[in-house]
Amino acid sequence: MELQSYIEHTLLSPVMTYSQVDQLCAEAKQYGFWGVCVPSFWLKLAKRSLEGTDVRLVTVIGFPLGHQLTQSKLCEIDHALSHGADELDVVLNLSAFKSGMSWVKKEIVQCAEKIHEQEKILKVIVETAYLSEEELIDVCRLCEQAGVDFVKTSTGFAPTGARVKDVECMRHVLSEQVGIKASGGIKSVQQVLTLIKAGADRIGASAGVQIMNEYQNVIKNGVDQV
């Protein structure tokens, strides 16, 4: 298994710096990660750093709470697309979802239409830490009906991140056409492998280098667990 092809090397710290973005991109190139995920403010720098590589550029929209009005999210999407984003992770408005507001689906549809016009990828972050199993099932169905490409577990800012039981539930509900991105608190090879086995197609992690070094040691020692 080419574990690096699952990983979106992520940096979303509120105090991240220019040099850290450069380092993130250099590491992504070195290890061959699928992509890097940075806030839209840093897209131009990351785009320059990744020029000439196959590393995808990922950013977040409505981050981290999803409370923004739809028009604000659409403006963020426009900015991100104009600055080179290949994949956009949009935070669901959980407050509206839990209030039973029907326009939540309409918002996702509008985001999907704008992103797909540019032939880019939409992931919706549903923040599983705050959802019951029934709510998770409902929101996965809503996302698929709205045309998303991936459903993503977490922002990494909630009390818990990616959980195996949530990924298993999501994979059971979603069709094969919709991917799953597990993110939040993923720091070890064992977590990555378990989440992939549960149904994750992508892994969002700030510990990508740590994970790959551990993985290489596992293979070197002849105990590949894949």
CATH superfamily of 3-220: Aldolase class I (3.20.20.70)
Average pLDDT in the chain: 96
Question: How large is the average pLDDT for residues 105-129?
Answer: 98
pLDDT band at 223 (very low <50, low <70, confident <90, very high): low
CA distances from 203 to 6, 34, 185, 216 (A): 6, 9, 11, 17
Q: Which has the minimum average pLDDT: 23-27, 130-134, 221-225?
A: 221-225
- Closest to 12 measured CA to CA, from 127, 156, 129, 154: 156
From residue 55, how far is each of 37, 39, 214 by CA, in Å?
A: 10, 16, 21
Check residue 221 and give its pLDDT. Answer: 82
What is the reported pLDDT for 146? 98
13 Rama sector, left if φ>0, alpha if ψ -120 to 50, beta otherwise: beta
Task: Supply 111's token pair.
Answer: 């985001």
Q: Residues 20-51: pLDDT tens digits?
A: 999 999 999 999 999 999 999 999 999 999 99
Q: Residue 69: is its pLDDT beyond 50? A: yes
Pairing mode, if any, of strands 7-10 and 87-91? Answer: unpaired
Q: What's the pLDDT score for residue 219? A: 85
**DSSP assignment of the chain:** --GGGGEEEE---TT--HHHHHHHHHHHHHHT-SEEE--GGGHHHHHHHHTTS--EEEEEESTTT--S-HHHHHHHHHHHHHTT-SEEEEEP-HHHHHTT-THHHHHHHHHHHHHHHTT-EEEEE--GGG--HHHHHHHHHHHHHHT-SEEE---S-SS----HHHHHHHHHHS-TTSEEEEESS--SHHHHHHHHHHT-SEEEES-HHHHHHHHHHHHHTT----
Known catalytic residues are 89, 152, 181
Please report the DSSP string for 110-140 in residue order: HHHHHHHHTT-EEEEE--GGG--HHHHHHHH
Could you tell me which residue, 38 or 224, shows the higher pLDDT?
38
pTM for the whole structure: 0.96
Q: What is the pLDDT of residues 133-179, one digit of tens each?
A: 999 999 999 999 999 999 999 999 999 999 999 999 999 999 999 99
Give the C-alpha distances (Å, rounded to integers) separating 103 from 49, 155, 208.
38, 22, 36
- 226: pLDDT strictly greater than 60: no
Four-residue CA torsion sign, 96, 183, 160, 176: positive
Q: Where are the domains of the chain?
A: 3-220
At 70-95, the pLDDT tens digits run 999 999 999 999 999 999 999 999 99
pLDDT, tens only, 172-197: 999 999 999 999 999 999 999 999 99
